[in-house]
Amino acid sequence: MLPRGRPRALGAAALLLLLLLIGFFLFGGDLEYERPRGAAALDGDPPADRGGHNLSDCVPARPLPPKCELLHVAIVCAGHNSSRDLNTLVKSVLFYRKNPLHFHLVTDAVARNILEMLFHTWMVPAVGVSFYDLEELKPQVSWIPNKHYSGLYGLMKLVLPGALPPDLARVIVLDTDVTFASDIAELWALFAHFSDKQVIGLVENQSDWYLGNLWRNHRPWPALGRGFNTGVILLRLDRLRQAGWGQMWKLTATRELLTLPATSLADQDIFNAVIKEHPGLVQPLPCVWNVQLSDHTLAERCYSEASDLKVIHWNSPKKLRVKNKHVEYFRNLYLTFLEYDGNLLRRELFACPSPPPPGTEQLQRALAQLDEEDACFEFRQQQLTVHRVHISFLPHEPLPPRPHDVTLVAQLSMDRLQMLEALCRHWPGPMSLALYLTDAEAQQFLRFVEASAVLSARQDVAYHVVYREGPLYPVNELRNVALAQALTPYVFLSDIDFLPAYSLYDYLRASIEQLKLDSERKVALVVPAFETLHYRFSFPSSKAELLALLDSGSLYTFRYHEWPRGHAPTDYARWREARTPYRVQWAADYEPYVVVPRDCPRYDPRFVGFGWNKVAHIVELDAQEYELLVLPEAFTIHLPHAPSLDISRFRSSPAYRDCLQALKDEFHQDLSRHYGAAALKYLTALQQPPGPA
């Protein structure tokens, strides 16, 4: 949902102002400052001084591009980690921007899947996105040996003039490890400094790498003076195409590779070799547009105070762990955007009309029809909220799908992270988990996983971050996100506070095979649910041990004390003696945990907060004639925990319960419209007092 106010934006702006003040005191007295010495000529070759510098002096300020001019930005992005980096980069760009933007993203399949969902759900006004397939471009660079940690993807910027639309004349090219500290329109304005012959804008490399002699036998690629860094590039695509860029760089690379074994700095080596041969192609840019934080950086010569900084470039494999005199300031600037609430960037560009993101107009009309005096306004508003979704937040490498495989599907928030390690020990199979987090909490979650030997070892667990917005917990939307990302034929629809039997994963796969289930047979396998009120207890390894704990009072059937009819149809008395699966009938308020085909009906997202969210899903399964089969050796156990905010509100607020009843009434009306007379049997159930989940 588009935010209605911006009080939190003021807080972030104040934080950035504080960083600038810190920078003033940090840089004020102890910095050896060397200002650039002379502007590079706008035509002809850029001069190199006796110290080997390509001079990129501050040139007279040119006016910014028109406010509504569309600026184009190209980024190469591959994999899960790079997608997270791109998210932070984009937030820093959006924070300062005043112009419409179009991002041209050259991605692999993983990054495209992630970023399409992220931008689609972000719904930022005046931002367009186009995707280009890395696989189609790989053959153009795969012949080049490259020792850089970026691998083949680090060479992709070479092919952008041919890959981007032929009518696109100018583009800013960025690495994913840069952070903006200024309006990107100021960088775009530097195109005005290009002479008629210049086609590439670059900042000088801020290390001695290309001067050679860093160590014995160090032999870099040829470069003009110190060379140039390609983390930030201005490309005149039209002129590059006219100059035969594709042939130019390939000839240069082929020649140099006759005497050099490989590139060390990926595309940067080849760009520099071309510029060495054709120095008139380059327009040196002011160094503040690419302040490079490599291990041996000379970036301190570039700035004297924080306000000088325009773009920070973490161009060391160590990234934030790099050693640098002012790294704490730079790190804090980066962390500001890393944890910044991206929802606040959904702001309109004033006096700059642009087509709204898809779905925005319909959403705004629905929001306008809400009555803020309605006692259930909070529920209605939460239902219309479009949450940003970052699927596959961490690296995820699923095993090849197997015919009867099952993915555990669940959702959680920050206060349930402690359940993850135990769940991983109990369920060795694939999982798809949706996490409801703020931007800052997402980073805490990342550190939590990295610090856990159990969690970091699992590559078959997919974590999908749904960014928090609104007062109520969107439980069914979270379930739908996790369900949509499951890759196996079957899913076990569970909750995060349940631990399945250690053998359940293997047992479910064997049961699906033995029952000869397939996509044409609508069956929901019921996994009986139990609970313990003890924070410490010995988890049963078999059904016999579970029954002993049940008889001793250490375990109970789930919600036996609070809501017995939620699981009574499972027929626990019959389950005690059962040796084969048995069929049960749907009954009012039944909410078992089930295993179903991946293409099962989705959860109804109108149910937010606490109450009736699972019940409504089981009603939908029954309406679609799913057969309910209870598995005789399956079980899952609920562990005790502090009540959530939503369940506390449900228990204490009659108005909350009244709103839940209103949602149930609307749900039945929709059932009647969809299923006709077949939905009448649910009317009695829906007239019951609102129950739990």
* H helix or E strand, kind and range, residue 410: strand 406-413
Residues found in the chain: 693
Segment holding 449, helix H or strand E = helix 439-450
Question: Which pLDDT value is given to residue 359?
Answer: 78
Nearby residues of 31 by Cβ (< 8 Å), 6 or more positions away? 300, 304
pLDDT digits (tens, 9 = 90+) for 28-46: 433 333 333 333 332 333 4
CA distance 547 to 557: 11
CA 200 centroid distance within chain = 32
Identify the three-state secondary structure at position 435.
strand
**Bridge partners of 662?**
none
- Of 100, 234, 228, 128, residue with least CA distance to 171: 234
Give per-10-residue mean pLDDT for the chain (693 aa): 41 51 44 33 37 50 81 96 96 96 97 97 95 96 89 93 97 96 96 97 92 79 95 98 97 96 94 97 96 81 79 78 76 92 90 79 79 82 91 92 93 95 97 98 96 96 96 95 97 97 98 88 96 89 96 92 89 97 95 96 92 91 95 96 72 82 88 84 66 56
Measured distance CA(492)–CA(598) in Å, rounded: 9
Q: Which of 444, 179, 198 is nearest to 313 (CA)?
A: 179
406 DSSP β-pair partners: 490
How far is the CA of 132 from the CAs of 73, 105, 116, 141, 309, in angstroms? 13, 6, 12, 15, 31
Q: Which residues contact 653 (CB under 8 A, 6 or more apart)?
A: none
> With contact defined as beta carbons under 8 Å apart, do 282 and 198 qualify?
yes
Find out whether 609 and 472 touch, Cβ atoms under 8 Å: yes
Helix, strand, coil percentages (3-state) for the chain, rounded to 5, are: 40, 15, 45
Q: How far is 181 from 188, CA to CA, in rounded Å?
A: 14
Q: Which of 535, 570, 559, 526 is nearest to 647 (CA)?
A: 559
Q: Which residues are registered as beta bridge partners of 48? A: 54
